[in-house]
Structure 1
Amino acid sequence: MGLQCGILIRPVLDCLYLNIYVPGEIDREKRLPVLFWIYGGGFWSGTASLDVYDGKIFAGEENVIIVTVNYRVTVFGFLYLGREEAPGNMGLWDQLLALKWVYKNIQAFGGDPSLITLFGESAGGASVSMHMLSPLSQPYFTRSILQSGAATAPWAVENKQVALHRAVILYEYMKCGNGNMSHLAPDQWNMDEVLRCLHAASADKLRDSEWSPVMEFADFPWVPVIDGEFLVENIETSLKRGNFKKTQLLAGSNFDEARKLKRNFS
């Protein structure tokens, strides 16, 4: 199965790698366009190694280079405590690290670093749009494709207070301290105590508890946060002010996008 970030089968933390698919024959004098894939899964599951993401045929038939990358998901990728140890958006930083590596090294595989297109589905599409919004990512890609997801989706991003509250709920669920902290005013939350609790917990216990925060329908507990660094301001504010990468964008929704969830309502 390989090393897979956060999926339901053999989830592991040592999972940060990427796959590069190239055509069978490459003309070293002609640099090829690069498609950089970010998988979806609600920021709580997924892997770059699913069979459906295998880029061999696509690369060969379209004469392009396909890159698929892993990134940390769920509490391991998006826990926010307002501390250096848990700054939030770790999964987005993973994506950016991979993107920088591709930008720097893709010529060795016959790719053109000036022709990198980001594309992703669901949470992957939301991630792509966040890279368009982040000044940290903008120099490293050219175009974007969003499939069934964007940073403006109601499930895609949270503010700091909501993210902190979810961490407090997780702390209470794990029963390693004050069980009533979530009922206190936010300025009374002891995030140092929350950090000590979660830091002492095993990865398995964290994973088994990750859905403890109370959520609304079609919500996900651990998602990107407006941290002031990767995402410097509210999404709508960035869009209104024009603080995003001005480039070609293709956006749409995939057919039967929610079929996987249908069994939950039958």
Structure 2
Amino acid sequence: MPKETVAEAYVQDLDFKGFIQGLTIKDKNSGKPLCRYFGGIPYAQPPTGEHRWQKPRELAPCYRYGTRADPAPFAGKSSVCPQLAKKIAAFDENCLQCNVWVPSGEQPPQGWPVYFYIHGGFLQMGNVNSGNPTAFISEISKCIVVKPAYRLNVFGFLASTKITFDQSTSQGGVGNFGFWDIRLALEWTFKNISYFGGNPANITVGGYSAGAHAAFYQLAYDLYQPSEKRLIRRLIMHSNGPGLPPRGLEETQAQFGELLQVLQIPANANDKMQALRQKSPEELLEANKKMQLHQFRAVSDGDFVRHTLFSDIEDGTFARRMQEGNIQLLIGECSDEHFSYRRYRPPQGSYDTIMSRLQADYPRIAVAAAMRHYFPEKQLPPRWKTWSEAFGWLYAYMQIHVSERGFIDSLARGGAAHLIHRYRIEWRAECADLNYPKEGASHGADNYLWWFGDGLDLTPQEQVVAKSAFLNDMSSFINSGKINWGSAGVRQVRRLKANGQVDLIDDEFWDEAVESWRGIMTAALTARGKSRL
């Protein structure tokens, strides 16, 4: 594993939606079908031109993917949103497409379960075409995997009231366009997955890193929909949490103003949005490089992201809604996340530069609270040897270690402890060395576990470890929501040790992380009276 494969053309009948041509992936030696693949299927109209920074638009009701005689070709890849990279020509703003993998064999009576998986990349970058779930689908979990591409960075998460004022259609909004994209892709999946043999009533939403963060926001949106419009049955969050409360529009307006300034668009220009839409992707990304507030993230807009979201988490409202829908959560982390985090746009080492760097991601009030907690003397504490190490850990705390535990603690206090399944990974597959520095169980290296090699080779022993440690249980979770890790209470974690052994441990970091979370939440939510988060 992975087996050498060959691909043959395959035509899928989508009933009145038309016909599409994808691929049947087969084992090269035996000829056994492993799965079917369809790449680059549009789930929305292009978000380009005047539709840049608008909510995504559904495909027209009369949209057809092709005919029996001339099926639409979807054997390739999805387009990828422009992002900071050396080869900008490889990207395309018209990126609202998805890739779909379907198991081989006879589908169950109610259809295949569906795993809707969101890629990561800090919400600033990432490629929906990376990775290969063929082995996972054919050897671990007979489920349909849907991976959506979505708008990133300035294209997906620019926010300003000026955007709404510019709109003359019902597609107006102030931000969170990448999240709206994912939601529309999820709705497309719900409406169309039965044509691929899937069960729309059995959708698990998950993701890695920023994909897990986005999955959380998808659940947060879904839980507040009328019961007949709720689509998510369970959630998987790999190596990320809710993060800190997002900025409000007042604070994101400063980022919007900085973008205008860097692009030399006058602050008193009559039509700022028209001027921005006339800029090429290259110009926007070059401007992004020069900005101090260079991270484009979620905004508390009262539309996709409720103003009361984090207070709802803290007071138990979120937990009660999860219980109403019996929404189970599989969530966990790697032991060495910080190695990757300290390399992402790192600041020069000092208290002030770390604070400034974190303010590119998070609200000023929340960053100040975190810095007071971890650097009470504004000096490097003994736990870290360098400011670079401190930045990596603090960044990982905010997104993963503290964020996860604070969220879990709030859910447990709200009565939802029985819905939560936690893990920790200290193990690393040998093939991870091909793409990741040899830094233990670092952020992202565990993808080779979760996707059973993700297109690379696991050794026979590693295959046994991956299956017995997590994958057999995760397959059951995706199929039916049933999982039996043996853990008792939210403080207990199922751990995969570096030697490949599995045990249950009490979380030694729990008390410190929860204390930190509550301090930050108190500061952030108290500030709501002065400025919306």
Normalising to structure 1: TM-score of the pair? 0.83
- Summarize the Cα distance change of 1:30–1:132 in structure 2 as closer, same or farther, 3 Å threshold: closer
**Partner residue of 1:149 out of 240, 263, 275:** 240
Name the SS for the 1:149 alignment partner.
Answer: coil
Percent sequence identity is 26
Q: Does 1:171 align with 2:260?
A: yes
Q: Report the structure number with the largest CA radius of gyration.
A: 2
**Distance (Å, rounded) in 1 between the aligned partners of 2:277 and 2:218:** 29
Q: CA deviation at 1:139?
A: 0.3
Name the SS for the 1:13 alignment partner.
Answer: coil
Report 1:186-225 matches (<5 A): 193-215=271-293, 221-225=295-299
Task: List structure 1 runs of 4+ shifted beyond 6 angstroms.
Answer: none
CA contact (8 A) 1:158 1:225 kept: yes
**Partner residue of 2:188 out of 94, 98, 101:** 101
CA contact (8 A) 2:206 2:235 kept: yes
**Distance (Å, rounded) in 2 between the aligned partners of 1:60 and 1:29:** 19
Q: Which segment is superposed worse, 56-65 or 139-148?
A: 56-65
Q: Does 1:120 align with 2:207?
A: yes
Q: CA deviation at 1:3?
A: 1.8
Q: Does 1:71 align with 2:150?
A: yes
**Distance (Å, rounded) in 2 between the aligned partners of 1:175 and 1:222:** 19
- Summarize the Cα distance change of 1:234–1:192 in structure 2 as closer, same or farther, 3 Å threshold: farther
CA contact (8 A) 2:219 2:232 kept: no
**Distance (Å, rounded) in 2 between the aligned partners of 1:106 and 1:78:** 28
Q: CA deviation at 1:133?
A: 1.2
**Relative contact order (alpha carbons < 8 A, sep ≥ 6): 1 or 2 greater?**
1
Q: CA deviation at 1:228?
A: 0.6
Name the SS for the 1:128 alignment partner.
Answer: helix
**Distance (Å, rounded) in 2 between the aligned partners of 1:55 and 1:136:** 31
**Partner residue of 2:125 out of 40, 45, 48:** 45
CA contact (8 A) 2:151 2:178 kept: yes
CA contact (8 A) 1:211 1:221 kept: no
**Distance (Å, rounded) in 1 between the aligned partners of 2:231 and 2:269:** 35
Normalising to structure 2: TM-score of the pair? 0.43
Name the SS for the 2:298 alignment partner.
Answer: coil
Q: Deviations over 1:218-259 (max 9, x none)?
A: xx6211111111112243212134146411011111455454
Structure 2 unpaired stretches of 5+: 1-76, 168-172, 347-387, 390-533
CA RMSD of superposed structures (Å): 2.5
- Total equivalences in the alignment: 247
- Summarize the Cα distance change of 1:227–1:41 in structure 2 as closer, same or farther, 3 Å threshold: same
1:140 aligned residue: 231
1:182 aligned residue: none
Q: CA deviation at 1:2?
A: 5.2
